[in-house]
Chains A and B, each alone.
Chain A
Amino acid sequence: MKIIAVYSIKGGVGKTAAAVNLAYEASQAGYQTLLCDLDPQGASSFYFRVSASKKQKSKWFFSQSYKLFQHVKASDYPLLDILPAKLSYRHFDIKLGAFKKSPQKQIARLLKPLKKHYDVIFLDCPPSISLLSENVFHAADIIMVPVIPTTLSERTLNQLVNFFQEKSLDESKIHPFFSMAQASKKLHQQSEARIKMHFNSIISQSIPFCAEIENMGIHQKPVATFAPKKSGAIAYQTLWKKIESYYLA
């Protein structure tokens, strides 16, 4: 089982779109896939038309995980399940902080027993750098970071790397990729060139800024299901194939 986190300190960079489309691609490739929506906004849950029931309690996340996983829901696509988010997930840091022993490793502990059930788990993370993020860094095998080729995104990527160094975390897990990239913009071209120079681990497949990805909100579906031949769908498919061949083959 591989745990793939889609993470960025910054918001609005295409995390959820990436998590949704990559999870879909993984399931289409035959991997039993679970997408955990950790963002209290619940955007990836929305894309799959699932919502948490009132009975789903965020306190179960760290105490009675079997109860939590009773609330995993099938998506409309084979082999792809969703654990929907709840607004109460905004209190995760308080709950995690209450752990005296290894508060940074609670998500890893929670997901470990799932290896018998899933081949790939995607974590759609909220934009922040917090105790929850630290949990994600410990639990994930691969941390995919969408980066808009702009100066600010470059800065936040540097902040992430510095954080990993300060906390002696495994930097090799970080795999940035360009998101919402516009090849026609000079600023994007320059930023891309600069970021590529500094980050060897950047995945050589960008996700373009395109209408069909934005339209996911209207369709509430992964882009490949309603615009399979458009550049956005092809880009996610290629990105998935790269991840698969690097880390899962």
Chain B
Amino acid sequence: MTLLAQSLAKPVVSYWQLPGRKNPQSVVRLIKKQFPNVCHSQATQSIPLYDAFGWPLWFDNVMLYQYDSQLILAPKGCFAYESLIASCTANNLNNNGQVLEINQLPSGILKNKVKPLIKLRALQQMATLTCDSHTIKMINSDQKTVCKAIIYILSDQRNGATTIEYLELQPLRGFNEEAEQFTQFLEQHFTTIAEPPLVDYWDKHRLAPQPYSIKPHFAIQPETSTREAVLNMVNTMLALAQQNEQGVIDDIDTEYLHDYRVAIRKIRSLLSLIKQVFPKAETKQLKQQLKTLAQKTNLLRDLDVYLLAKDELKVQLPTQLQPGLDKLFQTFADLRKAECKNIVQHLQNKTYQDTFATIKNTLKTCKKAAKTKNSHKPIIKVAIQEVHNKYQLVCHNGSLLTATTDDEAFHDLRLECKKLRYLLELFADLMDTATNKQAVSSLKKLQDKLGHFNDLSVQQEKLLSYLDGNNIDSLEAAAIGGLVSVMHQQQASLKTEIISQLNDFCSFSTHNKFSQLFQKVSQQ
């Protein structure tokens, strides 16, 4: 650390266990006896803690909570004044206290720091802490606070009966001597605690935040039979899809539906890529049922994609034409509202629950079913072959593309790339981690372009059909026309970019990366 960094380092907050059998009031008396020039205040309040589904903030070691009228981003489990990362006013949030979209936050540093962590997720009240606090401020002759000690009595309302009590010493920058004095006093009567006690408290009371990822680790062993491995993966992905159902029903954010669909799509890909693992009839039935489930949500996802791209699409038009898109987006928003109701009904319907139960029963049947061609082969052999085949196919089909090739061929390539990426992600445990990451990352660059190409096609199609079927005014028509034209041009230039990206992806260095991936796999 440089001398300057040392000078500007934040003072270190420390945590202390209250002396045995002493209640907070007697601790305050004890402190006052030693330091007559202190000011004491007591407060009781609820502290709502916000995070997105899967607690991405918490697992990035930060915590977002509301205290008085402020929304505060702080290190995990830490309420210390000097440790704040950012804060903003929580007035006018208009969130009904439960769900908070990133766009509802006032612009500023807190929003900028939270946004990349939660991406498209909404913030939800994940827990509410009841907080009784005794704040003891040491005051100097200028009436300036020079050191703060806070006794917290915290409980999580999910398990209100158990509380934690501790003292947090918050030294203030530039007042080291006073903090030192206070620390010496605490050392005589209190015991230090290494970490912010909230983390430990949650662990003990099983309230600890649970991580979530749409890319789970399956911990498959290379020699596991293919059927067992695939069943494990399918069941995990099914559970992930179900984990997202409530979020879709409550319409918290668009990512619930997205992840629900990804989970189902991954199962479908797995069933079609890793062939002859289950008996034919059961495989066919599973594929059909999953296809129906996925198709049911197509319209809602399309509308979500459109509405998410609203601002981006608007800026592509000249300012005069931009208001023309408002009516269009309003129509999409109304459609979405109606479609969302349909999906909620669908997910709460007995037929849907029966379908899910049937899928699970079929999987149970599959587990015990008679051997099939690949069912008992080690998963590693089958996976290597599939990854290898798919990579060869992507490179071969990619080499046939030119700037004048039909759009359809680009769409087909997108689907193949998606399957290859799913294979790499699903079987990541069997491969060398670093090489797998590199391969996924170079594939992702290609996929982003192909995905954008596909979005543009779908959006143009939708806009043109909207032009046909609705009573629209001239400004709206001009705006839609303008947008279709911009999209068409973008697609043409994207074709060239995709071909160049493909050359990179199928180049010698990427080929080497894939070879390494296979070698590592075969050595295991």
Residues of A within 8 A of B (CB): 28-32, 48-51, 65-67, 69-74, 76, 78-79, 81, 113-114, 116-117, 119, 220, 244-245, 248-249
CA distance A76 to B5 in the complex (A): 22
Q: Is the CB of B106 within 8 A of A72?
A: no
A residues less than 8 Å from B87 (CB atoms) = 28, 30, 78-79
Q: What 0/1 readout, one digit per residue, does chain B (50-74) give for beta carbons within 8 Å of chain A?
A: 0000000000000000000010110
Mark the stretch among B168-176, B197-205, B282-290, B468-476 that contacts chain A.
B168-176
- Output the residue of B6, B7, B73, B143 with the most chain A CB within 10 A: B7
B residues less than 8 Å from A114 (CB atoms) = 8
CA distance A184 to B110 in the complex (A): 40
Q: Is the CB of B107 within 8 A of A70?
A: no
B: contact size bracket? 20 to 34
Whether A49 contacts B84 in the complex (CB less than 8 A), given A66-B3, A244-B108, comes out as no
CA distance A245 to B108 in the complex (A): 9
B399 at the interface (CB under 8 A from A): no
Partner of B4, one of A50, A66, A78, A248: A66
A-B contact pairs, 26 of them (CB 8 A): A28-B89, A29-B109, A30-B73, A30-B86, A30-B108, A30-B110, A32-B109, A49-B142, A50-B142, A50-B144, A51-B142, A66-B2, A66-B6, A66-B7, A67-B7, A69-B4, A69-B7, A73-B174, A74-B175, A78-B81, A78-B82, A79-B86, A117-B8, A220-B143, A244-B108, A249-B107
CA distance A50 to B89 in the complex (A): 26
Residues of B within 8 A of A (CB): 2-8, 11, 70, 72-73, 81-82, 84, 86-89, 106-110, 142-145, 172-175
A residues less than 8 Å from B4 (CB atoms) = 65-66, 69, 113
Partner of B173, one of A29, A81, A116: A81
Q: Which residue of B lies closest to A248 (CB)?
A: B108
Q: Is the CB of A74 within 8 A of B108?
A: no
A residues less than 8 Å from B107 (CB atoms) = 244-245, 249
Whether A50 contacts B7 in the complex (CB less than 8 A), given A30-B110, A79-B87, A119-B109, comes out as no
CA distance A76 to B82 in the complex (A): 10
- Output the residue of A67, A73, A74 with the most chain B CB within 10 A: A74
Secondary structure class of chain A's binding surface, majority of residues: loop
Smallest CB separation, A49 vs chain B (Å):
4
Partner of B88, one of A29, A32, A49, A74: A29
Q: Which residue of A lies closest to B107 (CB)?
A: A249
The 6 closest A-B pairs by CB, nearest first: A73-B174, A30-B86, A49-B144, A66-B3, A74-B172, A30-B109
Q: Is the CB of A72 within 8 A of B109?
A: no
CA distance A65 to B109 in the complex (A): 27
Whether A29 contacts B106 in the complex (CB less than 8 A), given A49-B143, A74-B82, comes out as yes
CA distance A220 to B139 in the complex (A): 14
CA distance A72 to B143 in the complex (A): 18
Smallest CB separation, A86 vs chain B (Å):
14
A residues less than 8 Å from B142 (CB atoms) = 49-51
Smallest CB separation, B263 vs chain A (Å):
36
CA distance A49 to B82 in the complex (A): 18
Smallest CB separation, A32 vs chain B (Å):
8
B residues less than 8 Å from A31 (CB atoms) = 86, 108-109
Q: Which residue of B lies closest to A49 (CB)?
A: B144
CA distance A67 to B174 in the complex (A): 12
Partner of B5, one of A67, A73, A116: A116
B residues less than 8 Å from A32 (CB atoms) = 86, 109
B residues less than 8 Å from A81 (CB atoms) = 173-174
B residues less than 8 Å from A119 (CB atoms) = 109
A residues less than 8 Å from B82 (CB atoms) = 74, 78
Whether A78 contacts B84 in the complex (CB less than 8 A), given A29-B108, A73-B175, A245-B107, comes out as yes
A residues less than 8 Å from B143 (CB atoms) = 49, 220
CA distance A81 to B10 in the complex (A): 11
Q: Which residue of B lies closest to A66 (CB)?
A: B3
Smallest CB separation, B324 vs chain A (Å):
27
Smallest CB separation, A70 vs chain B (Å):
5
A residues less than 8 Å from B5 (CB atoms) = 116
CA distance A244 to B111 in the complex (A): 14
CA distance A219 to B355 in the complex (A): 69
Q: Which residue of B lies closest to A45 (CB)?
A: B142
CA distance A87 to B151 in the complex (A): 40
CA distance A197 to B106 in the complex (A): 33
Given A66-B2, A69-B7, A72-B174; 18 other pairs, CB 8 A cutoff: A28-B89, A29-B108, A30-B109, A31-B108, A32-B109, A49-B142, A51-B142, A65-B4, A73-B172, A73-B174, A74-B11, A74-B173, A74-B174, A78-B81, A81-B174, A116-B5, A220-B143, A245-B107
Smallest CB separation, B356 vs chain A (Å):
44
A residues less than 8 Å from B3 (CB atoms) = 66
B residues less than 8 Å from A51 (CB atoms) = 142
A residues less than 8 Å from B172 (CB atoms) = 73-74
Q: Which residue of A lies closest to B174 (CB)?
A: A73
Smallest CB separation, A235 vs chain B (Å):
17
CA distance A31 to B89 in the complex (A): 12
Smallest CB separation, A42 vs chain B (Å):
12
A residues less than 8 Å from B84 (CB atoms) = 78-79
CA distance A229 to B348 in the complex (A): 49
- Output the residue of A30, A70, A119, A249 with the most chain B CB within 10 A: A30
Q: Which residue of A lies closest to B111 (CB)?
A: A30
A residues less than 8 Å from B72 (CB atoms) = 78
Smallest CB separation, A44 vs chain B (Å):
14
Smallest CB separation, A27 vs chain B (Å):
8
B residues less than 8 Å from A113 (CB atoms) = 4
Smallest CB separation, A67 vs chain B (Å):
7
Smallest CB separation, B207 vs chain A (Å):
27
CA distance A113 to B1 in the complex (A): 13
CA distance A28 to B70 in the complex (A): 9
B residues less than 8 Å from A78 (CB atoms) = 72, 81-82, 84, 87
Q: Which residue of A lies closest to B144 (CB)?
A: A49
B residues less than 8 Å from A74 (CB atoms) = 11, 82, 172-175
Smallest CB separation, B113 vs chain A (Å):
8
Smallest CB separation, A195 vs chain B (Å):
30
Q: Which residue of A lies closest to B112 (CB)?
A: A30
Whether A30 contacts B88 in the complex (CB less than 8 A), given A49-B143, A113-B4, comes out as yes
B residues less than 8 Å from A28 (CB atoms) = 70, 87-89
